[in-house]
Amino acid sequence: MVSSEPACISDLEKAAEKVMQSGAWGYYDSGANNEQTKYDNVSAYDQYRLHPRMLRDVSQISTETTILGEKVRTPLGIAPCALQKLAHPQGEQAMSAAAAEHGSIMILSTYSTTSMEKVIAQADGNSYWMQLYVYENREVSEQLVRRAEANGFKAIVVTVDAPVLGRRLVDVRNRFIPLPHLRLENFMDPAVANAPGGYPPGAEYSEQETFGATFGANGDQSLSWENCIPWLKSITSLPIIVKGVLTAEDTALAIKYGCAAVIVSNHGGRQLDGALATIDALPQVVEAAGDEIEVYFDGGVRRGSDIFKALALGARAVFFARPVLWGLAYDGQQGAKLALDLLQNELELTMMLTGTRSIAEIDESYVYQPVPRWVRYESTKDAQGKKQRKLVAKI
């Protein structure tokens, strides 16, 4: 008898598309404009080849590592994604239960359809981080940060690649609007959002929830390193992680302003189309980070070997959203856990076949990297004021 259970993430993707409404599927699947970066995120891994070592004892392997000084079972983590009840009625609560069962870090989106209190209540020794957008009305952002810290979240992950929302043509064509019964519970009064019997009768949209429902319209487009990171550090003792870094220059600034880590991410290809695939951007960020700051990774992960390659190139943890969202749509908590298990098992298989027994052993010696495909120049002037073209980067 042939098993009908998905055998890989690609199978989960197909299964999820069959059960999701077209608008919801398009929201999760879409990239910006021509979706070049979305597709590059996935295909770029194929340009990297593995360099395995033989006759090593791999009878016992471990994926334990440390992230922000805390021991974790696995470097796999769940990236933030909004509106998870579009995929399944239990949404982020089911996702959190899967993360806890697997021992993975979960980053909760500001735009969660489940309150942060309900999400972290599923914890079983695993850590939770809170993703944050900084708004023109800083009071709204501050309330979210303080609420997350009070509820036991271990870090603030500030998204910096969305001063405005990217143009996602699939959503435009679908005229996508989230279903009206989905509430943004992190913007609600916690007493209402977390009422034991559900929302009290006649629970109206508050002014703050209406503010949240505008999504990117209230983002602070004047946000800068100078006015964002010091402000965040003044209102919380939690580590600040910057999500959306793709360059050595911004990594250096993250170090300068005292961030705990950066996440190499291009928002799943949903913001700036034409940006580098994250696996191609990773090496320059790792080199700039040195031993000063931890580097995490997000983008295009579909196989355990993708995770291995990112770890080999210097990522300390690897996050992903679409694979677990497909799992969530397919079978709720168990589907999300299946996605985590598939990637975990594939990572462990890759480790055994390359002769690596621990995460610490995985380094760039196990990966053949492609020769530089892109170069970047800057214009400078010599002592006489004559314009010169200077090669500054090869990727």
Q: Which residues are known catalytic residues?
A: 267
Per DSSP, the three-state class of 121 is coil
Q: Which helix (H) or strand (E) holds 296?
A: strand 294-298
Q: How does strand 76-78 pair with strand 317-320?
A: parallel
The C-alpha atoms of residue 258 and residue 233 are separated, in whole angstroms, by: 9
Cα 365 to Cα 362: distance, rounded to the nearest angstrom: 8
Look at residue 61 and give its three-state secondary structure.
Answer: coil
Helices (H) and strands (E) in the chain, counts: 14, 14
CA angle 110, 96, 101 (to 5 degrees): 155
Give yes or no for a contact between 321 and 27, defined as CB atoms under 8 angstroms apart: no
The closest alpha carbon to 245, from 307, 293, 306, belongs to 293
Cα separations in angstroms, 228 against 222, 239, 259, 264, 387: 9, 14, 11, 19, 35
HSE (side-chain half, CA atoms, 13 Å) at 155: 25
Distance, in Å, from the CA atom of 339 to the CA atom of 30, rounded to the nearest integer, reads: 20
Query: How far is the C-alpha of 201 from the C-alpha of 180, rounded, in Å?
Result: 16
Phi, psi of 271 (to 5 degrees): -115, -85
The answer for residues whose C-beta is within 8 angstroms of residue 198's C-beta and 6 or more apart is: none
